[in-house]
Amino acid sequence: MWIPILRSLSHKYEDYIIGPHKLWDILLETTNSNTSATTLAQLQYLAKMTFKGVHKGAKSRAIASGASGSGMQIVISGEDLHQITAWRSEKSQENNDGATGEDGQLRKHPLKPYLDYIGYLYQRTEPLSEQERFEIGYRDFLQAPLQPLMDNLEAQTYETFEKDTMKYDQYQKAVHAALLDRVPEDKASAIITVLMVVGAGRGPLVRASLQAARETGRNLRVYAVEKNPNAVVTLNSLIKLEGWEDVVTVVSGDMRQWAAPEKADILVSELLGSFGDNELSPECLDGAQRFLKEDGISIPSSYTSFIQPITASKLYNDVKSHKDITHFETAYVVKLHSVARLAPSQPVFTFIHPNFSPRRDNRRYKKLLFELPADTGSVLVHGFAGYFDATLYKDIHLGIEPSTATPNMFSWFSIFFPLRRPVYIPAGSALEAQFWRCTGATKVWYEWAVTGPSVSPIHNCGGRSYWV
């Protein structure tokens, strides 16, 4: 019943690392009392040769050392194609990759070509990119989302974000386009554009904005507003180092309380979370837009959150291990890896800036119906993966929604909304879910529930377990 189909699952840094004895144990677990001696011989040879019986040849050395240290898995299935019960006997003298029989002829094991092909696949594995090297330690690891409005970020967090050059390239393109639209070429030398960076951090958005001004030949006056006193120290040092004192004014304080000396033409912010609005970007920008001109430009101009049902047994078991309801009613940031995405993601909440409506309301509600593909079969839903997509300016966007994700960007991982009990979805059925964004006097929180084909409790009622 077996033919070896040898492949590397995912890539050479899969999460599960096994040695030769463990591999043999796993292979034996897949057999039963009816398993033939031929099959057992195939399995034992493969386990032995893969990890310790191969010492010659570049390909063989690569797989012998690489498989044991990088989690390569071997999957064996199919029909018997090889009869090898008489291949090896007690009188045979072992060679490195075969055996010498009684007739003196060197015999190659029938499975040796498959082993060579593993080595070939391993050699063709591309080196990990910078993004993959950064993300590998975070795969399927639950993290609490950042709350930069409530807490001051640490220097290491700023440093990590600042390495994400793709994000700041997109912001620079957006400011570049906005400046060209805002200031005609024939007035470029006469007009000074007022640009405010709210949530300036340690200065990467300030740098990107000034670079865009140099590229377009436009003049800027920049206000960099930051509430974290530790980041302000670094920001002031950067401005002195770069000689920006005549152009940039640092404001140490909360953007919602700052009294601006003049109104801005362009308002630039970096307040997005993994779910778009989950770090209170709407509330912050609603407070900051009072110093934006009526025809002013907000970067970003809009953002939308997305939801997708997933099967994620590892994440579910990690949440379950805490043995309390609080962890099942908390949203987590996680680099999704060992999950099955069951249906295309759908938009949930959208926010547009600036929003000068006199009746602003950041509460939201959305009912979603996910049609699972016909060939999916029955599934268990352990929760929902959340993403966002933001329009910075016109056609310049930034996001992590899988179908439109910005490449080579690692500032945001997905968000995960767990379910207290996995929901069984029969083949051919649809999944109905409901999400709420709720606001109170001092906090914002999400509530979520499954309402079809079965009904789950409403998670996080009243923000009892998780809020921002």
Catalytic residue among 159, 185, 226, 279: 279
* CB burial of residue 363 (10 Å; 0-12, 13-18, 19+): exposed
Q: Which two tokens stand for residue 462?
A: 């009243």
Alpha carbon 52 to its chain's center: 36
Q: Of these residues, 270, 329, 401, 447, which one is catalytic?
A: 270
279 an active-site residue?
yes
- Please tell me the distance from the alpha carbon of residue 182 to that of residue 264, in angstroms, as a whole number: 12
- Please return the burial class of 88, using the count of CB atoms within 10 Å of its CB with bins 0-12, 13-18 and 19+: middle
Q: Identify whether 215 is a catalytic site residue.
A: no
Q: What is the Cα–Cα distance from 434 to 417, expressed in whole angstroms?
A: 12
Contacts for 82 with CB less than 8 Å, ≥ 6 apart: 38, 42, 110, 111
Q: Measure the CA–CA gap between 187 and 123, rounded to whole angstroms.
A: 58
Other CB atoms closer than 10 Å to residue 192's CB: what's the count? 13
Active site residues: 270, 279
